[in-house]
Amino acid sequence: MEVSHIEGLWASNPRSWARAYHVPIEHREKVLAAYREARIKVRIRYQGPRSHSIGRTMKGVNGAQDWIRGSYQAQLTCLREDAKSFSVYDR
């Protein structure tokens, strides 16, 4: 899969910053491999249900304590485990 094919197949709104939009999560590895091969650094934003992660225990990073994901944080972001699709942005 090539970058031009990805950006043509899942084209975003012309006013959007996204390179590709609403890409099904099943294509994640292929899309990342294509951008890696083209030496383009990208950032992924996951899209999907957010309420599933309320109350989930999240692992602390760099020695921080584990924490419970609250409703405010769950409304802001979608976790990779819950995602149905994703968007690709420049890093």
Residue 73 confidence (pLDDT)? 83
Residue 9 confidence (pLDDT)? 86
Neighbours of 43 (CB within 10 A): 10
The C-alpha atoms of residue 86 and residue 3 are separated, in whole angstroms, by: 15
Instruction: Give this prediction's pTM.
Output: 0.80
Which tens digits make up the pLDDT trace of 56-73?
888 888 888 888 888 888
Which tens digits make up the pLDDT trace of 7-53?
888 887 777 889 999 999 999 999 999 999 999 999 999 998 887 78
Residue 71 confidence (pLDDT)? 86
Domain boundaries along the sequence of the chain: 3-90
Q: Residue 20 is encoded by which pair of tokens?
A: 């590709």
Residue 54, classified by CB atoms within 10 Å of its CB into exposed (0-12), middle (13-18) or buried (19+), is: middle
